[in-house]
Every structure is written in structure tokens, then in C-alpha cells.
Amino acid sequence: MNWQEEYKRKSISTKEAARMVKSGDRVVFPGGRESYALGMALAARKDELKNVEVQVPVPNYDFGWYDQGWQDSFQVTIMQATVLSQHAVDGKHIDFNTGTLFPFHESDEIRPPDVVFVEVSEPDEKGFCSFGASLWNKKRRIREAKLAIGEVNKNLIRTCGENFIHISEIDYFVEHVSSGGSPGQGSLAGRTLKKPELHIKPIAENVSGLIRNGDTIQIGVGRTTEHLVKMGMLDGKQDLGYHSEATPPGVISLIKEGVINGKRKTLNPGKAVVAAIGGSTREEMEWVNNNPLFHVVEVDYLEDIRVIAAHDNMVAINQALAIDLTGQIAAETLGLQIISVAGGQIPFVFGAWLSRGGRAITVIPSTAQGGKVSRIVPTLSVGTVVTIQRNMADYVVTEYGIARLKGKTLRQRTQELIAVAHPDFRDGLQREAQRLFWAS
């Protein structure tokens, strides 16, 4: 049987696919956008199913199961709260996976998926499907699962690297339908970028002073970091490398212009290595399509600390929610409220520390709530998760300057951080620093 015949034999309806899920199964939507038609078909079986574990790393679509009253049918776990799922996290009627350091492999103690639903492109002339704009852990999840079902979206881009799978590794295929009820645009559509806040421009300028020609850059996901390139962080730089989870706005343009060319990269020279492509216009996504400059890999490789550290001059740029005067960095919660996830921040910070010439940069606006509260605080509030230990804090950048914490004493750290705090809060922080760290 040739692959075309095999593909035709494996093509079924979404209802048929959803009926393959049994009560008690573990259903996984791998990293990236969920398969919309399959998700809707599964949610439609709410009254027929019990205790189905559903894992959705970053919710993009509202299938209904984030609301109260679905828990007997679907027990949902997410890794990153979004607007449509934050109420479910706050209400504690879904579970939250705190994430882990990569590489991560399923063990006997962790249950592999019974069913994987994943979005794929149409097969090419050799029977290989692309995962579109993002790979994350999709290939590994398919290979772990008892049953893998692909939702075929004709509008997904194809990228180079490891971002492909042969139809023989997928059990069934269904036709993609978008949230509008018709075939969607997929990864060619790009996305709209929100207007940056005023403090981001000076933060970008301050970070720029820490970046040298030839550095390899990582930029974490976040409301501050996603604007830094567009705000000039890499202006005037040359021969930069790129090894990062995704491509925030401006990165693809700099690759196109040759500013990011990977010429001096220690690993994968000449390639921008990512787990996902995003934050880009349709024109940029079309330029990425089948472009060998982009090397899309699984996150297990991308976030392996040993791989990150093997890059000379690795610069990790990530954002935080709050930081205390000793340098403890919180990027996940404020008190007991879950806001974000560590994601790749931990391995990239550790990798940058181990890199020859590496730097770990934490960006943080000086205030929150419209200037009412300082993000640099004497001590973190009770219950706040420490994402980066104070021992691993390196550079902290706000719109008011750069604090260097690496190798500093507690008193020196307090002075470094107070100097980059908002002026309205410096006197209060100084009084607290003296109370906490100086003898009376």
C-alpha cells in the first residue's frame, strides 16, 4: 500500500475520532494551538464521558471545560493561564502543571497519553506532514500515545529542522475546522501585536547595552519581552545568533536583514533554532515557510541546559513579576495567585550562567497597577513562588537602569536594586533595607 492509500484509509470524521475516547482516558493536546474540530467534538460528549483527563498546555480555544460543572466529565490540566482559563485557575476547578526542567521524558510513574489530538498540515509528496508554526513536544507526544489523531489544516506553514512526521506514525486523520466554523488560515495568518507600554522603550535601551556583537540570544515569552526587539533592543548589533523558544515580533525581520545570522554560533551555526515561530505578520510567516534559516526542534533539545550552556556568549532575556531586595525572582505567582509559568526561564538562566561569556538578564517594569505598587519589594508576599533563586540572579533591568547582582553581598544587592526602582518607592525600600540588613 502506498502512502496515499494509507492516508485515505485513515481519514475519518471528527465524530468518529471523538468516539474513540473512553471514560478514564488521558487526552493530550500537545504544546501549541489545540486541534479545534477535535476539541469541539470531544466536548460534545460531555454527558457520555466520565473522568477523562485532558491536558492543554496553553488554552487558545474555549471548549466549555474551563467552566464550573464540567469536572465530572473532564479533569483539565493546563501549564499557562490565558484570559479564557484564568477564572478556572483562580476558582481551582482545573489543575495546573508547574512545568519542569527539560529534557523531560515520560517515566513509569507518569502516565503516557491514551489519545493525542494534534494539528498537522496536509502530507507532502513523500507523505510527511508538518506541525506548522510550532513543534514543542508534538512528535514525542505522538510516539508515546496509544492513539494519535491528526487534524489536517491546509494552511499550515512548513519549516525546516525536525518539524515533520510521516503519516505512518499517525493513526487517523480528520479535516480541520476553525473556531469560525470553516477551514482556518492556520499559521500563515500571523497575529496582531498590542501597543507597547511607555516603560518598554527605556528597558529595551538598557538591555541593549548588555548585548555584544556575536552573542546568541534567547527571549522569553511575556508582555514586556515580546516588545523589546521592536523597541530597538538589538538595533546596531551584528552577527547575532538565536536559540530560543519562539520568535517575538521583530526577530524574523532581523533574520531576513542578516542582523541575526548565526555566523558566530557555537552550535547550529547559520541557523535560528526555535521550538515555535510566532509574533509575526503574514508576510513574515510566508518568508519563514520552507526557509532553511529556521531550524525548528523539539523543546527537549532546545531547553536542555547542556545544549544552552554549550553556546558561547549565551544571553538569556526573561521577565519577572516581582523581585525582592535579596534578588529572589518571581515569575509565576504573586502570593498564592497563579499568573504565569516558569517555562524555559529556568533552563535558560542556568544555561547562560554556565555559558562561556554568558549573561542572564531579567527585565521587569518598576511598578504595577498603574504605578501604585513597586515590583521591587523588600520581601516577596507569603506564598509567592521563587522562580529564580537569588544565587542565580545576574542582571536585573528596569526602565531606570541596570542592577548587577552576580557576586554581590546582600547589602550591595539592595543598593543595586533600589537604584533601579521607581523613584517614588526608593526611600521606603531604603528604610526597609536598613531594617532587614543593617544592625540597629
In a structure prediction context, what are the per-residue pLDDT tens digits for the chain, which is 440 residues long?
Answer: 799 999 999 999 999 999 999 999 999 999 999 999 999 999 999 999 999 999 999 999 999 999 999 999 999 999 888 888 999 989 998 998 886 544 444 444 478 999 999 999 999 999 999 999 999 999 999 999 999 999 999 999 999 999 999 999 999 999 998 776 544 556 666 666 678 899 999 999 999 999 999 999 999 999 999 999 999 999 999 999 999 999 999 999 999 999 999 999 999 999 999 999 987 788 999 999 999 999 999 999 999 999 999 999 999 999 999 999 999 999 999 999 999 989 899 999 999 999 999 999 999 999 999 999 999 999 999 999 999 999 999 999 999 999 999 999 999 999 999 999 999 999 999 999 999 998 76
Confidence at residue 103, expressed as pLDDT on a 0 to 100 scale: 47
Say if 360 falls within a structural domain.
yes
Q: Are residues 326 and 178 in the same domain?
A: no
Say if 266 falls within a structural domain.
no
Q: What Rg, from alpha-carbon coordinates, does the chain have?
A: 23
C-alpha dihedral sign at 33, 101, 83, 281: negative
Q: Are residues 35 and 91 in the same domain?
A: yes
Among the candidates 188, 217, 232, a domain finishes at 188
Say if 219 falls within a structural domain.
yes
CA nearest 208: which of 234, 243, 244? 234
Q: Are residues 207 and 124 in the same domain?
A: no
Q: Please name the amino acid found at residue 331.
A: A
Is residue 344 within 8 A of residue 303, CB to CB? The reply is yes
Q: Cα 288 to the chain's mean position, in Å?
A: 19
Q: Are residues 315 and 391 in the same domain?
A: yes
Is 284 marked active-site? no
Nearest-angstrom CA–CA distance, 248 and 363: 15
Residue position matching grid coordinates 526597609 = 432
Among the candidates 161, 188, 215, a domain finishes at 188
Q: Label residue 316 exposed, middle or buried (CB < 10 Å: 0-12, 13-18, 19+).
A: buried
CA nearest 274: which of 376, 361, 159, 384? 159
Among the candidates 128, 156, 188, a domain finishes at 188
CA nearest 379: which of 405, 343, 417, 350? 417
Query: Running DSSP on this structure, what letter comes out for residue 112?
Result: P
Nearest-angstrom CA–CA distance, 228 and 438: 37
Nearest-angstrom CA–CA distance, 390 and 370: 27
Q: Are residues 184 and 206 in the same domain?
A: no
Say what the alpha-carbon torsion angle 67, 68, 70, 71 is, to the nearest 10 degrees: 120
Confidence at residue 102, expressed as pLDDT on a 0 to 100 scale: 46
Q: Are residues 96 and 214 in the same domain?
A: no
Say what the alpha-carbon torsion angle 43, 48, 51, 52 is, to the nearest 10 degrees: -40
Say if 207 falls within a structural domain.
yes
Residues contacting residue 100 through CB under 8 Å, at least 6 positions apart: none
Say if 245 falls within a structural domain.
no
Residues contacting residue 110 through CB under 8 Å, at least 6 positions apart: none
CATH code, domain with 415: 3.40.1080.20
Is residue 215 within 8 A of residue 191, CB to CB? The reply is no
Q: Are residues 212 and 321 in the same domain?
A: yes
Q: Are residues 119 and 204 in the same domain?
A: no
Residue tagged active-site, from 119, 151, 226, 245: 245
Angle at which helices 410-420 and 423-437 pack, to 10 degrees?
Answer: 170
- The pTM of the full predicted model, rounded to 2 decimals, is 0.94
Q: Please name the amino acid found at residue 256.
A: K
Q: Are residues 136 and 221 in the same domain?
A: no
Say if 264 falls within a structural domain.
no
DSSP string computed for 147-198: EEEEEE-TT----EES-EEEGGG-SEEEE---TTSS---GGGS--PPPPPPT
Q: Are residues 227 and 88 in the same domain?
A: no
Question: Count of domains in the chain?
Answer: 2
Say if 193 falls within a structural domain.
no
Q: Are residues 108 and 234 in the same domain?
A: no
Q: Please name the amino acid found at residue 417.
A: L
Confidence at residue 293, expressed as pLDDT on a 0 to 100 scale: 98
Residues contacting residue 259 through CB under 8 Å, at least 6 positions apart: 234, 237, 238, 240
Say if 292 falls within a structural domain.
no
CATH code, domain with 180: 3.40.1080.10
Nearest-angstrom CA–CA distance, 353 and 36: 40
Nearest-angstrom CA–CA distance, 240 and 412: 32
Q: Are residues 211 and 172 in the same domain?
A: no
Full residue range of the structural domain in which residue 13 is found: 3-188
What grid cell was written down for 121? 498540515
Is residue 237 within 8 A of residue 259, CB to CB? The reply is yes
